[in-house]
Every structure is written in C-alpha cells, then in structure tokens.
Structure 1
C-alpha cells in the first residue's frame, strides 16, 4: 500500500460508504475504526437502515476518504482523496463485542446507537484503491 494511502486511512475517522440496490446508489457519511493491518474498516449502522438492506443485497461497496478535515479554511493545498473498492462482511462474537467496546471508547458520540437492539457492527474488507492528489495526480493499487 502506498504511504499516502496508509496515512489517509490512519489520520481520518470519517468516510463515505457507497452502497447500491436495484441500480440506485446510496451514500452515507460514516465513522470507522481501522484494523491493525489497515485492510479492514469497522462501521456501525442500524439493521433498519437503507444502507444495511443494500449491504445484505449487494456486498460490493465503495468507500471514499479525503483530506478536507485536515485542511484549514481557504487552504491552497490540493484535496487528497482515496476511493476504495471493498466487500461487506458481518462480524460475530467475540470480535463483535470487542468492536462495540472500541467504538464506545473512541467515539462516545455513537453511544446512543451502540445500545440499540437494531445496532449492527460490520466490516468492509478493502480490495483496491484509486488515490487522487489534486485534480490530476492519480495512483492505483491493491491491498
């Protein structure tokens, strides 16, 4: 994995998760936790959500992470973004409870959803990426 891609994954905690159902795309701003090998994102949703229904129907997803949060207002630096192709997987205990505890500790703002019976913690295994540094510099790779 390119150093810039690894840096983007480690320095951010927000992504846009893109799912699809019956030809209709659906994008959601999500908080994530990255695994130690930097190949899996863990995310939270409600089993009643459109995104979860889409994931159950089609496990193929796209994930976008960008540098906008790190740039100051009015910055002249180019925005860097990484688009990943990935695959949805459900997780089970004991990993499920481990991730519930990690989300609770790292992201207390998610406490309300974590205690709901409809809360689902899932993973996205990242497969390959397209790195854009500004509007024309690109780099593709696999994980």
Structure 2
C-alpha cells in the first residue's frame, strides 16, 4: 500500500489543499514537488494569499491527490484518491529552499515567475497520515 501511495504522489503533480482559519474551510488547487525523504511535499505561494494567511494561523492541512483526469466518466470507479494530513512549516533553510524550488520549477516550469518573486514563500507539508481510496469502496 505504501508503495502505491508513494507512486501516486510521485506521478501526480497537483493537489487540492484544504486550509482553515477560525473554523472556516478554504480550498486551493496547488502545484507541488516531492521531498527526497518521501514524507515531505513542497509548494510555493505568495505571502499575501489567503492560503498563506490560513497556514500561518493554523498549520494543519489536508491534501487531496487523485487520478480522476486519467479516467473518463465511464471509468470513474478506477479513480485513486489519496487524502494526506500534515503540518505546514515555512522553509527558511537556504539549502532546503533552493532544493524545493528546483524540484517545483522542474515539475512546473509555468510557476517559475512566482517561485522567483520576492513575495514567494516555500511551504513544506510534513505528512502525518494517509488514506488511499481505490474506486468507490476500497480504503
């Protein structure tokens, strides 16, 4: 199961990020990169965004990584959906930040301008749990 989870995280490149602030949920579609240890996921966002503000207020997040784009409507029962829970932290170490940004821009060249902006914050999601749903009923 863990191998399937790691493969899914490595193969996909977007997730839905769920944050909350003052008991108000908020979702964002995010590009991500994987840490070398398999337990960290990186993203970059602007300092002035609602998601960043929410994370600074409440660092606990949930991520949804899925394969729905691979399957047409007729084959939705084959979709894999991975729910990830974790805690966010700002990446302040220069080497870790450089490595994370290199991975992010390698996987997502279209976010280079954001990654290089003075407003960019690199966030690490330190994974604490996973739940993989295979099709409609297998978790």
Q: Same fold, TM exceeding 0.5?
A: yes
Structure with bigger helix share is: 2
Runs (4 or more) in structure 1 with deviation over 4 Å come to: none
Number of the residue aligned with 1:113:
114
Moved more, 101-110 or 28-37: 101-110
Number of the residue aligned with 1:95:
96
Report the TM-score, using the length of structure 2 for normalisation.
0.90
Asked if residue 52 in structure 1 is aligned to residue 52 in structure 2, the reply is: yes
* Structure 1 residue 16 displacement after superposition: 0.8
Moved more, 52-61 or 97-106: 97-106
* Structure 1 residue 115 displacement after superposition: 2.4
Q: CA RMSD in A?
A: 1.5
Unaligned residue ranges in structure 1 (runs of 5+): 139-143
Unaligned residue ranges in structure 2 (runs of 5+): none
Measured in 2, the distance between the counterparts of 1:104 and 1:129 equals 25
Measured in 2, the distance between the counterparts of 1:69 and 1:126 equals 24
Q: Deviations over 1:53-84 (max 9, x none)?
A: 0000001000110012333x345252110101
Measured in 2, the distance between the counterparts of 1:69 and 1:123 equals 25
